[in-house]
Amino acid sequence: MIGARAYRQLLQRARGNITAQKCPSASISSFLRPTASKEILKGKRSFSAEAKAISEAEVLECQANWANAIKSISKTYLDKGDYIGTAGAAAGELYGYGHSNVLFKPTKAAEYPFRPTAGEAMSYFVGGSVVDNGYDEDGGFAINGGKGWKEVVFTNHQIDLNGPVAIAMGSYVFTCATSGDEAKVEYTFGYKRNSDGKARIFLHHSSVPYSE
């Protein structure tokens, strides 16, 4: 459970984590906006019992949007565009930061394995060196450390629907835009319908397949 004062401190940190010069406020405002629900501050669910159930088709759409976002961020980076702004705008649509708690455990994160704030998530996706107070271990997963991704393919092992919440588990394969090499990663995604009616990620855990 997180208190109101602690939440405000986390939100202020998240706002401070974005480099203003490289992240236009219009692109990231939705990603970093404060929650309007006091229920979140109390650690309660951020949806009503009457919220519309999430369908399997909606889960698949969320996954397609996530894959397209990774490819778009990579392409924008390789084209020398505003990839940080692109990432901020995409994250605001895909992740529930500012709407609910987000449980995010990225694949390539060791020193800081959990990313509860929007700023920490941005550090992971675009690189710690391009956001204020970013983490040195973050090379920018969404840009593949500078090499980019040209394809992302989801394969669901199972999708479990629970009213306004849905959980998906499986694997996705990323194809490097530079070498064509493929990397397989295993995931668990949780989607929750927020108060604005959109389903967003509230749980994201990724790991590489086990090998001895």
Q: Is the pLDDT of residue 131 over 50?
A: yes
Mind listing the pLDDT tens digit for each residue in 103-130? 999 999 999 999 999 999 999 999 999 9
Nearest to 101 by CA among 205, 17, 2: 2
| Cβ within 8 Å of residue 181, ≥6 positions away | 175
Rounded-to-integer distance, Cα 180 and Cα 209, Å: 20
Mind listing the pLDDT tens digit for each residue in 38-59? 344 344 455 555 789 999 999 9
Rounded-to-integer distance, Cα 17 and Cα 76, Å: 21
Q: What is the pLDDT of residue 32?
A: 52
